[in-house]
Amino acid sequence: MINKTAIIPLNLTLLVPEFPGGKWDLTLTLISSGKELILVDTGMPNVYSDIKIQMKNLGFPIEKLTGIVLTHQDINHIGSLSDLLEKIPSIKVYAHKEDKDYITGKHTLIKGLPAMLHSFAEGFSTMENRIDCLLEDGTKLKNAGGMIVIHTPGHTPGHISLYYPQTKTLIAGDAMVIRGGKLMGPNEMNTPNIRMAYHSLIKLTNFDIQKVICYHGGVYEQDVNKQIIKITKTYFTD
């Protein structure tokens, strides 16, 4: 059977002089499945134009977006949601129920931004955001080729990762990061419940993963399951 679902990393580079190399790379993901075109996460505030350009470079007009899946509530993941909804009101938005009230402005976001990134959040507000479909652990996204939602709390209460069995691909969100070409656990400074986050990594080992897309770091394809087991064992035995 021909696989009609494509999972495509979408890279954004923000110029941040205080960061190593003067830049900050974020890896969003596009899911193309039949007539559906879904964006996973939306970057920082005010990057709508950057997303539009990168999508065009990949051969996808931004106006064709039908859905947005948010892995969690952090501002660098939901930042341009309101702009996307303003430009393309027909988009359906998906997120885990535990993060819904933060994303839609009912509660204040759990985490803020470091001072060096404050300029990116100018004019940012969650009050225009909406969630159309609430996700739970095990939900299958029919409009994304049967992508499986995995609740991976710790980084935030409603953090999710997405698994596509046909290509054994995991969209990790911030459950893991890649640094220097090495797959690592979550960023401890930005993970309020780090122990829970590592328990979530153990949960991921129940899936046969050959490729992982990390929001911070890009794509990793070297013995992913073995590396996740190593990461969790190191944490729980240290």
pLDDT at 121 (0 to 100):
84
**Other C-beta atoms within 10 Å of 196: how many?**
15
The token duo for 76 is: 């660098």
Structural domains in the chain (count): 1
Q: What is the CATH number of the domain that holds 162?
A: 3.60.15.10
Instruction: Quote the CA–CA distance of 15 and 200 in Å, as a whole number.
Output: 32
Report pLDDT digits (tens) over 39-97.
999 999 999 999 999 999 999 999 999 999 999 999 999 999 999 999 999 999 999 99
Q: How confident is the model at residue 113 (pLDDT cuts 50, 70, 90)?
A: confident
Q: Helices 194-204 and 224-237, interaxial angle, to 10°?
A: 150
Is 2 a residue whose pLDDT tops 60? no
Cβ atoms of 187 and 228 within 8 Å: the answer is no
Report CA Rg, the chain.
Answer: 17
Cβ atoms of 43 and 73 within 8 Å: the answer is no
Contacts of 218 (CB under 8 A, 6+ apart): 9, 11, 25, 27, 178
Report pLDDT digits (tens) over 171-219.
999 999 999 999 999 999 999 999 999 999 999 999 999 999 999 999 9
Cβ atoms of 72 and 159 within 8 Å: the answer is yes
φ and ψ at 75, to 5 degrees? -60, -30
φ and ψ at 85, to 5 degrees? -70, -35
pLDDT at 3 (0 to 100):
67
Q: Which of 82, 83, 94, 79 is nearest to 44 (CA)?
A: 79
pLDDT at 218 (0 to 100):
98
pLDDT at 1 (0 to 100):
45
Q: Which of 228, 227, 208 is nearest to 166 (CA)?
A: 208
Report pLDDT digits (tens) over 3-23.
689 999 999 999 888 888 899
Give residue 148's domain range. 5-237
Report pLDDT digits (tens) over 147-172.
999 999 999 999 999 999 999 999 99
Cβ atoms of 172 and 164 within 8 Å: the answer is no
